[in-house]
Structure 1
Amino acid sequence: MKKVKLVVIGAGSSYTPELIEGVIKNYEYLPVSDITLVDVDMGAEKMAIIFSLTQRMLAKANLPIQVVQTFDRKQALQDADFVITQLRVGGIDARIVDEMLPKSYGFIGQETNGAGGMFKALRTIPVIIDIANEMAEICPDAWLINFTNPASMVTEAVLKHSNNRRVIGLCNGPINMLHKVASLLDVEVDDLFIEFKGSNHMNFITKVLCDGRDRTREVIDIMNASDVDELGFKNVNNEQFNKELLWATHCIPSSYLKYYIKTNELLAEQDAAELTRGQMVKNIEAELFEKYRDESLQEKPKELEARGGSLYSTAALNVIRAIYLDDKSIQTVNVMNNGAITNLPNDVVVEVNCVMTSAGPIPLCTGDIPSPAKGIVAMMKDYETQVVTAAATGDYQKLIAAFVFNPLCPSDNNGIKLVKEMLVANKAYLPLFASSIEAID
């Protein structure tokens, strides 16, 4: 079997040990021979800790995998087969700004939604485009597996504004929802087919099939019998969706939709919280890296579950293994629509079921996304497309227009003030907006 070189960009992430655990578990079917860990100077200390822990994990597993760490990205990309991006431009501190500044204006402050998500995209997209272009030149046959949020916008930016088409956007949301539905129905994951339609963090389960039976309504009934969101994520409010809403729509939304249809409740929760999610994550990461430093630690610690990345490595390794083996499995990933959802534009990135092949993902055409889900997804795709263009070109006017018509902007005046303040706060990471920021500042 052909050996595989895996490159991890943003290797100083606290998630990396889970990824390494996945490599170990999948070695029989995915013979990774080389892992190259890459980060920037800002992440040097964390990457060194991750590098040492990775060595101990591989030694315990007794696998012949060579691991190296480097700050030379172009050198790292030599002979790469798969490149995973899990980077955070500006670190956790930039995330905290993304949360705190919108909050000061009475807006939702969140990592991937609203102003916070938009500015994470602005910081991230130029960097990922550079990586994608370097891959097209240095390792043109390699696949870019992007985990960096906001996954939908980042993936669309690469497909539209780089020279690289071998990119797949990935999120652990759909695979977590799949596993939780299996638990609710008390069946095996492999017995289920779940149809996903929408965009990353704006996705809907539109069909649950088990042994040839449509059990969507049964899942909704089980969810409605609970007081908490049975398919919820650690970093999102756990309140259940309104029961009548789920019955009326006959589909199950991602928990992230709560930012749009429970905005007042989440604003109140945000105002009452002593710490933002980013501040909590910063504390969690400090504790995790103290664990990772322990020379006796040879496996992923259980405490990593508090970070919120459940099944991260499962999602990543499932995709990589499927491409490597050409196994034709069906997985939910972020790809260009190209007719998969028939009532959305072809040239936008959607999160849908795809057949995984050695030539990449082939999206399944499952028809229209039903109303009213179609309305909000179409609105968000238009918004995301404008942000992608602004991020790739530094177009200030397009940025303003995009944000003001985002459903999470309740005021044009305050929205524009917020965008200006966030541009200034992020000026170190937004060189394409330098002239606009200078005019504001």
Structure 2
Amino acid sequence: MTNKTGTNGLKIAVIGGGSSYTPELVEGFIQHYDQLPVRELWLVDIDAGLHKLNIVGALAKRMVERSGLPIAVHLTTDRRRAIEGADFVSTQMRVGMLDARGRDETIPLRYGVIGQETTGPGGMLKALRTIPVLLDICKDIEELAPNAWLLNFTNPAGMVTEAIQRYSNVRSIGLCNAPIGLLKWLSGKYSVPTDRIYAEFVGLNHLHWITRVEVDGEEQIASLLRDDDSYSAKNVPQQGWNPEFLRTLGALPSYYLKYFYMTDQMLAEQQAALLKDGIRAEVVKRVEDELFQLYADPALAEKPKQLELRGGAYYSEAAVNLMVSLYNGRNDIQTLNVANQGVLDFLPDDACIEVNCVVTKSGPMPLPVKNVPLQAKGLIHAVKTYEQLAIQAAVTGDRGTALQAMAHHPLVPSVNTAVALLDEMLEANRPYLPRFFA
């Protein structure tokens, strides 16, 4: 493949290149260079993130230099220059940075509502801040790299991807580290490589159920549901599932579903954590500060082990796997966020869902799902209704639509709470919501 710069090999632009995750991405490019010949890697950030970009970028250059590979690493705040002629654009950004995440997590708690950055009121405000910015980036891609694939990791990934697919012409795919994390856990549990495991994912981003698990062709879901609840994530509290509920559910719920199925316990744990360690945003900030101190060491030329504490383990592995498959047409199966197109017959065709797909050279093809538990359908439909309203609100800046989205989120207990939450959270995010305060 030749990009517009006239050089052989691939040009990749990473929007949010100053992220603490970037060294994992660079490690992936180095390890998969034979299948993904990256010639130019452009790390892009905004002026407020320039300090971090310079630290991470210097580490990326040392990693490439140590590998001996001919990858040119560029650091820039000029997004258009980075995007021009790119083959892949990856987005891993946080509009408002960790301060905004802190507000997303704390304000709902004051109303007795789950405070989380990708679901509930916090996730909604993150979507309202993020979607207009991503759509603006898409205009640049349409103009400067119309054939590029946009791989979106920016949360809430499903909502952001749906907005891009609905309001732009960019070829885009959303992805998350949760499915690959589940496969890694199963791989360790059964002591087999992941290519001998098939797990069927059904649902939305951060709202999925695993309805089949086959190891070497043998179904394991029933024994898994009788077993334990050891699978969780570093960024979600470790409350245990009710064994009878899990067994009769007939599917393994994503750890994010604890916010819906065990709301009282999760809320109590969040409120206790707020008093003890602070909100998750503060914990992440401490981890990030330590990581950037490590990254700044001129002797460091590899991804440090401490990055796994960040809560997004395997995210870059998922990104590189997807790029390799799209570039080479591997026709392998990956769990991605794509347009529904009839896979879940109770959702609109343009709804973004998280399901297994065959990744071809021309893009992902969603696979039919064998089993969608009746008890999961109602929650999927309710959350998708909220998501589609929130996407519409993000694009229009219409307060009434935003209120409908907030009031119809299953984690918001009443209209009065929705009104009060929306007023306070919009005001707290005023600098990032020009469409609401025009």
TM-score normalized by structure 1? Answer: 0.95
Aligned residue for 1:438?
none
Residue 6 (1) aligns with residue 9 (2): no
Matched to 1:395, the amino acid is D
Aligned residue for 2:355?
352
What pairs up with 1:305-316 in 2 under 5 angstroms?
305-316=308-319
Matched to 2:104, the amino acid is D
Aligned residue for 2:265?
265
Q: For residue 368 of structure 1, report the CA deviation from its aligned partner.
A: 5.6
Q: Which of residues 66, 79, 86 is equivalent to 2:85?
A: 79
Aligned residue for 2:383?
380
Offset from partner CA, 1:373-402 (integer Å, 9 cap, x none): 111011111110110010011111011011
Contact 2:239 2:265 in 1 (8 A): no
Aligned residue for 1:199?
204
Within 1, Cα distance between the matches of 2:269 and 2:236?
Answer: 11
Aligned residue for 2:63?
57
Aligned length: 429
Q: For residue 242 of structure 1, report the CA deviation from its aligned partner.
A: 1.2
Within 1, Cα distance between the matches of 2:260 and 2:135?
Answer: 29
Within 2, Cα distance between the matches of 1:371 and 1:156?
Answer: 24
Within 2, Cα distance between the matches of 1:305 and 1:408?
Answer: 30
Aligned residue for 2:100?
94
Q: For residue 367 of structure 1, report the CA deviation from its aligned partner.
A: 4.8
Secondary structure of residue in 2 paired with 1:19: helix
Aligned residue for 1:181?
186
Offset from partner CA, 1:111-161 (integer Å, 9 cap, x none): 101110000000000011111121111101100000000001000000111
Aligned residue for 1:162?
168
Aligned residue for 2:42?
36
Within 2, Cα distance between the matches of 1:141 and 1:255?
Answer: 36
Offset from partner CA, 1:225-271 (integer Å, 9 cap, x none): xxxx3221101111221111111011001000011111111111111
Aligned residue for 1:371?
374
Q: For residue 334 of structure 1, report the CA deviation from its aligned partner.
A: 0.1
Aligned residue for 1:339?
342
Within 2, Cα distance between the matches of 1:367 and 1:207?
Answer: 8
Within 2, Cα distance between the matches of 1:267 and 1:220?
Answer: 25
Within 2, Cα distance between the matches of 1:201 and 1:319?
Answer: 19
Matched to 1:167, the amino acid is S
Within 2, Cα distance between the matches of 1:366 and 1:95?
Answer: 34
Contact 1:216 1:251 in 2 (8 A): yes
Q: For residue 414 of structure 1, report the CA deviation from its aligned partner.
A: 2.2
Q: Which moved more, 1:249-258 or 1:208-217?
A: 208-217
Q: For residue 70 of structure 1, report the CA deviation from its aligned partner.
A: 1.0
Contact 1:342 1:369 in 2 (8 A): no
Contact 1:341 1:367 in 2 (8 A): no
Aligned residue for 1:212?
217
Contact 1:180 1:230 in 2 (8 A): no
Secondary structure of residue in 1 paired with 2:345: coil
Q: Which moved more, 1:139-148 or 1:204-213?
A: 204-213
What pairs up with 1:320-335 in 2 under 5 angstroms?
320-335=323-338
Matched to 2:250, the amino acid is H
Contact 1:395 1:433 in 2 (8 A): yes
Q: For residue 369 of structure 1, report the CA deviation from its aligned partner.
A: 2.0
Secondary structure of residue in 1 paired with 2:264: helix
Within 2, Cα distance between the matches of 1:341 and 1:208?
Answer: 19
Within 2, Cα distance between the matches of 1:185 and 1:12?
Answer: 37
What pairs up with 1:64-143 in 2 under 5 angstroms?
64-143=70-149
Could you tell me which runs of 5 or more consecutive residues in structure 1 were left unpaired when the two chains were aligned: 224-228, 436-441
Q: Which moved more, 1:183-192 or 1:385-394?
A: 183-192
Within 2, Cα distance between the matches of 1:349 and 1:107?
Answer: 26
CA gap of 1:149–1:290, structure 2 versus 1, over 3 A, is same
Aligned residue for 1:145?
151
Within 2, Cα distance between the matches of 1:45 and 1:138?
Answer: 27
Within 2, Cα distance between the matches of 1:282 and 1:212?
Answer: 43
Q: For residue 222 of structure 1, report the CA deviation from its aligned partner.
A: 2.4
Aligned residue for 2:306?
303
Within 2, Cα distance between the matches of 1:140 and 1:230?
Answer: 44
Within 2, Cα distance between the matches of 1:214 and 1:283?
Answer: 42
Contact 2:239 2:266 in 1 (8 A): no
Within 1, Cα distance between the matches of 2:31 and 2:243?
Answer: 40
Q: For residue 188 of structure 1, report the CA deviation from its aligned partner.
A: 1.8
Aligned residue for 2:5?
none
Q: For residue 411 of structure 1, report the CA deviation from its aligned partner.
A: 2.5
Superposed CA RMSD: 1.1
Contact 2:211 2:371 in 1 (8 A): no
Within 2, Cα distance between the matches of 1:292 and 1:396?
Answer: 42
Offset from partner CA, 1:249-295 (integer Å, 9 cap, x none): 11001000011111111111111112000010011111111111100
Matched to 1:212, the amino acid is G
Matched to 2:109, the amino acid is K
Within 2, Cα distance between the matches of 1:192 and 1:126?
Answer: 38
Secondary structure of residue in 1 paired with 2:374: coil
Matched to 1:345, the amino acid is P
Q: For residue 329 of structure 1, report the CA deviation from its aligned partner.
A: 0.4
Offset from partner CA, 1:330-362 (integer Å, 9 cap, x none): 000000000222333222000000010111111
Contact 2:108 2:115 in 1 (8 A): yes
Aligned residue for 2:4?
none
Secondary structure of residue in 2 paired with 1:34: strand
TM-score normalized by structure 2? Answer: 0.96
Matched to 2:81, the amino acid is Q
Within 1, Cα distance between the matches of 2:32 and 2:347?
Answer: 36
Within 1, Cα distance between the matches of 2:133 and 2:314?
Answer: 26
Contact 1:171 1:312 in 2 (8 A): yes
Matched to 1:298, the amino acid is A
Contact 1:342 1:368 in 2 (8 A): no
Within 2, Cα distance between the matches of 1:397 and 1:293?
Answer: 47
Could you tell me which runs of 5 or more consecutive residues in structure 2 were left unpaired when the two chains were aligned: 2-7
